[in-house]
């Protein structure tokens, strides 16, 4: 096990990396998007989004898990929609959905989803929760994995460009972390906050990922 000072140094380095990437991405996305969309148009588009993401944006399990958008940080959501559009994040369905959204509609959608906060769907094995809580709060020093709470917050609700994990579908989190590099192919000239997670995702075992995913999926 590494001594506490080494774990602390890792936390500082991680936070420095996040700040560097935030500066590279040219400031908060919300500051760059100013146009407006009509309430009627936003309502119709919200209904369209909810056909996949759930009636209250709580996520949905069908052929594969579709993520919870309710309560998600607005800057993170804007960043990810832009990543789909620019092919920095690979998902053909979301590219087709997002590429024709103007800036006003994009902003309105993420703000509306941010305002929602339904109860989590749950479904993860509850016996995994204690182990996941320990990793979330303490990290894994032997693998140089910092506590998830260092970035995502003690309540797992995230902040600005760092996503909310609380209430997210456990199977969605597992799928994303176990295939991070395949979907989150980063443009080295235009990195975003997602690049910080790549070495962490690679350092976690599947069992550890399942435990963390189970823990955060029950948080409200």
Q: What is the pLDDT of residue 195?
A: 80
Q: Could you list the residue range(s) of the whole structural domain that residue 177 is in?
A: 4-217
| pLDDT greater at residue 185 or residue 48 | 48
Say if residue 160 is exposed, middle or buried (CB neighbours under 10 Å; 0-12, 13-18, 19+): middle
Q: Which residues contact 131 (CB under 8 A, 6 or more apart)?
A: 208, 211, 215
Q: How far apart are CA 112 and CA 42, in angstroms?
A: 9
Q: Tens digits of per-residue pLDDT, 46-91?
A: 999 999 999 999 999 988 999 999 999 999 999 999 999 988 888 8
- The answer to whether 166 and 154 have CB atoms below 8 angstroms apart is no
- The answer to whether 30 and 78 have CB atoms below 8 angstroms apart is yes
> What CATH number does the domain containing 190 carry?
1.10.760.10
Q: Is the pLDDT of residue 31 over 70?
A: no
Q: What is the pTM of this model?
A: 0.82
- The answer to whether 164 and 216 have CB atoms below 8 angstroms apart is no
Mean pLDDT of the chain: 85
HSE-up of residue 126 (Cα within 13 Å, Cβ side): 3
Q: How far apart are CA 139 and CA 149, in angstroms?
A: 9
Comparing CA positions, the residue from 94, 88, 70, 74 lying closest to residue 28 is 74
Q: What is the pLDDT of residue 186?
A: 58
Residue 185's pLDDT band (cuts 50, 70, 90): low
The encoded tokens of residue 150 equal 């260092």
Q: What is the pLDDT of residue 182?
A: 78
What's the domain count of the chain? 1
Residue 9's pLDDT band (cuts 50, 70, 90): very low
């Amino acid at each position: 096990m590494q001594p506490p000072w080494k774990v602390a140094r890792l936390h500082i380095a991680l936070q420095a990396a996040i700040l560097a990437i935030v500066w590279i991405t040219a400031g908060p996305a919300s500051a760059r998007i100013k146009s407006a969309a009509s309430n009627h148009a936003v309502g119709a588009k919200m209904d369209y989004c909810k056909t996949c993401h759930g009636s209250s944006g709580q996520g949905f399990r069908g052929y594969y898990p579709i993520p919870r958008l309710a309560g998600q940080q607005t800057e993170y959501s804007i960043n990810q929609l832009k990543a789909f559009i620019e092919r920095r994040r690979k998902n053909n369905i979301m590219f087709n959905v997002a590429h024709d959204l103007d800036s006003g509609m994009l902003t309105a959608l993420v703000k509306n989803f941010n305002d929602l906060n339904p109860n989590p769907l749950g479904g993860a094995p509850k016996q995994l929760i204690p182990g996941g809580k320990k990793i979330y709060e303490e990290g894994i020093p032997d693998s140089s994995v910092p506590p998830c709470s260092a970035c995502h917050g003690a309540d797992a609700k995230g902040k600005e460009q760092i996503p909310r994990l609380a209430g997210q579908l456990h199977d969605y989190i597992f799928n994303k972390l176990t295939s991070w590099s395949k979907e989150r192919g980063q443009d080295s000239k235009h990195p975003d906050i997602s690049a910080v997670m790549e070495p962490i995702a690679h350092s976690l075992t599947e069992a550890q990922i399942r435990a963390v995913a189970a823990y955060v999926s029950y948080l409200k």
